[in-house]
Amino acid sequence: MCPEADLNESTFDKLEFDEIREMLASHCHTSIGKQLARSVTPSTKSRLVRQWLAQVEELLALENEHGFPPMGGVHDIREAVRSSAFPAPLEPGALADVAETLIATGPLCDWFARTGEHAVLLGRLGERIRDLSWLGREIYEAVDPRGQVRDYASPKLATIRRAIEEARERIRRVCDRILRQAHVTKMLQYAGATVHNDRTVLPLRAEYRGRIPGIIHRSSDSGATLFVEPAESVELNNGVVRLRDEESKEITRILIELSRQVRQHAKEILSTVRAIGVVDVVAAKSRYSQRRSCACPKISEDGTLDLRAARHPILLELFEREKRETGTGRDVVPIDIRLGDDFDVLIVTGPNTGGKTVALKSVGLLALMTQCGIPIPAGEGSKMPVYKDIFVDVGDEQSLQQSLSTFSSHLSTLLAILNGSNERSLVLIDELGAGTDPDEGAAIGRAIVTELLELRAKAVVTTHISALKAVAFTTKRVDNAAVDFDTESLRPTYRLRLGEPGNSNALTIAERLGMSPRLVKSARGFLDDNARALSKAIAGTLGSRREAERARGEADQARLSADKERAAFEKERQELERSREAFDAWTRWVSALDTGDEVFIRPLRKNGKVVRMRLQRQRAVVAAGAMEIEVPLRDIEAPQGDEQ
């Protein structure tokens, strides 16, 4: 849906973005919508991303009162419409699909007519949908939903089919007369007629060949039965064959004419069907948002990413499937994460299977979803920038053809990322510095983090190398985060703590698993001075960092609550203003009413005419059909075109 995007294609594979596309397609109601959903591509243009998200917000605001746009009966008829330009007419089945789709444009246009004033951006989409239901009905009058040409598709066809039925009735009478003869039925395999190549025949036993005058058309596979057309019905059958030929020619003429009409309106039909598919994708985004309690993030222009209670979208689907299949399942632990405000590079540390990679991929997937205009499974108040590039280094990218080692491949990927990164890039690196000596890995890791800062890229980096934790203590615009681990249960909690470096917890785990205090103490003694100093520094700052993060969270929550109150007040003010304007317009209209003017009478739900006005009593006498009634002025309004 956005061919101008410059995002790295390999990013989609590494983050399993096709799963998101399939998830979106599963919420579409039309085949063309599903096709478009499977090809959605993130945009790198902030204006377009805002527009896509605003469309979803408009539809969600309308859904309670108006429901989603009606999509029943819509088929992907684009190939059929394009084929209508060829000499051969469209098949009846294809025309039936075209008719059903075009008829469906009527209710869809009605929906947009009702909602247009409340949804400007959706209204622009609706303007691309033409009401072609009149053409659909014309086709439907000739071709039924099963793809059969109707008898009354043309007067000539109706006459031909009546003649065929009359001829067949005469043939049936001839055959019935023959079958009532006892000596004839003894010669048949079964007492009944059948049809072969549109000719009525009798199943004669082979040993009675020649005993029934007529034409043998074929024999059974075993040769035991001969299918004979009685001489008495030959001319009648010839007449049916001739009529069938006429019928075929008339059907072809009708199909050519219908195909010509489709061809004449091909441009309108194709643009309308495409627009319907886009509307279906917007509706799918909205359904997904409702199902997963998603939010449309605000788009930041300053490169700030602020995700609140964010959940990995693919894990959400996976765990939901587990619950459906087994009755029990896991819940995705939400995380808070930010970038680009007080730091640009986040170094995430902690134990294996603690959720570091999940957190990393969550950021990448939610960025891609945002830039596709898909609401994200995160809390209100979340903010996302629009990135020009998203680079990902996750997993073993060894190239057997080049005989590269894991480390060499990892380093080659990192260098390529650095060469392509700038201030509009999001960089996600899993296990920075892995695959080589820890000291050298730490040195390379520090160099890469420093280069990312120079490039002003935004980055989330996971690592097991303890020395990289110290970077945040000595380098501006870098911070730590830890995936939490419960040392009592020896299980990860999957929570992410910003501002705290994580621990491998190896010694704590060893102690819980039964290693003697003496061995644990001995092991701690073997830790080098730098490791002990880092642990001491971390412990010294831990309390203040947690308090700072708590205060920040409370301030953000207060700001969000204030924003909600302001938005609610503004909405109420606008509604009051609209009500006042509507009342003023109604007052002017009532004051101008005169005898004979048409009005709509709400209690009767029908139009009537003013007999006399009693403004001093705030009432009016109106005639509705044969009766006159007096009603309060508040119960009349401008006449409606179609009475309810």
Q: What is the mean pLDDT of residues 586-601?
A: 88
The fraction of the chain above a pLDDT of 70, given in percent, is 89
pLDDT value for 176: 84
pLDDT band at 3; cut points 50, 70, 90:
very low
Q: What is the DSSP letter of 396?
A: -
Average pLDDT over all residues of the chain: 86
| HSE-up of residue 364 (Cα within 13 Å, Cβ side) | 30
Strands 199-205 and 335-339: unpaired
Distance CA 445, CA 230 (A): 95
Residues 6+ apart with CB under 8 A from 562: none
**Domains of the chain (ranges, CATH numbers):** 9-132+265-291 (1.10.1420.10), 154-241 (1.10.1420), 298-526 (3.40.50.300), 593-637 (2.30.30)
Q: At what angle do helices 234-264 and 155-179 cross, to 10 degrees?
A: 150
Cα–Cα distances in angstroms (integers) from residue 384 to residues 414, 519, 612, in the given order: 24, 48, 62
Q: What is the mean pLDDT of residues 40-56?
A: 96
pLDDT value for 400: 38
**Sheet of 335-339, strand order:** 298-299, 383-384, 305-310, 335-339
Q: For residue range 180-206, what is the model confidence (pLDDT) as tens digits?
A: 888 888 888 888 888 888 788 888 888
Q: For residue range 371-393, what is the model confidence (pLDDT) as tens digits?
A: 999 999 999 889 999 999 999 99
Q: What is the DSSP letter of 527?
A: S
288: tokens are 């997904």
Q: What is the mean pLDDT of residues 502-525?
A: 72
**Rounded (5°) CA angle 452-456-457:** 65
Rg (CA), the chain: 38
Question: Which ranges in 15-117 belong to alpha helices (H)?
Answer: 17-25, 31-37, 46-66, 78-83, 92-115
pLDDT band at 399; cut points 50, 70, 90:
very low
Q: What is the mean pLDDT of residues 230-239?
A: 87
Measured in degrees and rounded to the nearest 5, phi and psi for residue 225 equal -125, 135
The fraction of the chain above a pLDDT of 90, given in percent, is 47
pLDDT value for 2: 46
| HSE-up of residue 32 (Cα within 13 Å, Cβ side) | 21
Cα–Cα distances in angstroms (integers) from residue 264 to residues 86, 135, 252, 623, in the given order: 12, 11, 18, 48
* Tokens 């109420």, located at residue: 572
Measured in degrees and rounded to the nearest 5, phi and psi for residue 491 equal -130, 145
**Sheet of 598-601, strand order:** 627-632, 619-624, 606-614, 598-601, 636-637
Residues 6+ apart with CB under 8 A from 205: 187, 188, 189, 224, 225, 226
Q: For residue range 440-486, what is the model confidence (pLDDT) as tens digits?
A: 888 889 999 999 999 999 999 998 887 888 888 888 999 999 888 77
Distance CA 492, CA 499 (A): 18
pTM: 0.78
**Rounded (5°) CA angle 556-557-562:** 95
3-state secondary structure of 145: coil
Q: Are 383 and 304 in contact (CB under 8 A)?
A: yes
Q: Are 511 and 517 in contact (CB under 8 A)?
A: yes
pLDDT band at 398; cut points 50, 70, 90:
very low
Q: What is the mean pLDDT of residues 40-52?
A: 95
Strands 383-384 and 345-349: unpaired
pLDDT band at 411; cut points 50, 70, 90:
confident
Distance CA 642, CA 71 (A): 24
pLDDT value for 263: 95
Distance CA 601, CA 605 (A): 6
Q: For residue range 127-163, what is the model confidence (pLDDT) as tens digits?
A: 999 999 999 999 999 999 999 999 999 999 999 999 9
293: number of Cβ within 10 Å = 13
86: tokens are 């060829």
E strands present in 158-260: 194-196, 199-205, 214-219, 225-230
Distance CA 445, CA 112 (A): 55
Q: For residue range 290-304, what is the model confidence (pLDDT) as tens digits?
A: 999 999 999 999 999
- If we measure between CA atoms, which residue out of 386, 352, 358 comes closest to residue 502? 352
Specify the amino acid at residue 488: E
3-state secondary structure of 195: strand
3-state secondary structure of 529: helix
Between 174 and 2, where is the model more confident?
174
Q: Hey, which residues does 205 pair with through a beta bridge?
A: 225
